[in-house]
Amino acid sequence: MHADIQKALLTLNNGETILYPTDTVWGIGCDATSEDAVKKVYKIKNRKESKSLIILVDSIAMLKNYIEILTEETIELIKTVEKPTTIIYNNPKKLAKNTIASDNTIAIRIPQDDFCLKLISEFGKPIVSTSANISGLPTPKSFTEISDAILQSVDYVVALQLNKKVVKSSTILKLTTTNEIKIIRE
């Protein structure tokens, strides 16, 4: 794992893209604070920048750096979820503008995966996590289903867990402007 972390860190620090296993699906990632790096992800996926991306952070402490208001109820929810859960927050800050949706929201998850947590912790910043497919095509369920177009477009492929299968995409919740929780995807 150590060699993959070091190579992924070098790639991220150079503003480049990685293909890596997350707690849900294989993801295309980059520095979520770099607009140029994020542009590369959109280009790889052939996706319009008007569709926002999911961001991964390693902890509630890191999350607080990028979200304007984080209520105690939301913190408690994060601490108690048992399966991967992405939450859409209002008024993000310090993230690349092209990661943020037109309604000024951002989808963020704290992964339940040791590799992801270690990578993000050592990188010290959030990482983009979008499924490893061309926009509109099915999400690959294993590394072997990732298209050659994706494999050849990213700058570094994490070799760890090449036979990892997709368990399921994350649950997506959205915080309303009044901090109520709305289920978007279960």
Q: What's the pLDDT tens digit per position in 139-178?
A: 887 888 899 999 999 999 988 665 555 556 788 878 777 7
Domains and CATH numbers, the chain: 2-185 (3.90.870.10)
**pLDDT exceeds cutoff 80 at 127:** yes
Least Cα distance to 28 among 53, 10, 58 occurs for 53
High-pLDDT (> 70) share of the chain, %: 94
- The pTM of this model reads 0.90
* Two structure tokens written together for 92: 């993000």
For 55-94, write each residue's pLDDT tens digit. Answer: 999 999 999 999 988 888 899 989 998 889 999 999 999 9
> Looking at residue 149, what is its pLDDT?
94
Q: Is the pLDDT of residue 51 over 70?
A: yes
Give the tens place of pLDDT for each residue, 7-30. 999 999 999 999 998 888 889 999
In contact, 106 and 172? CB cutoff 8 Å: no
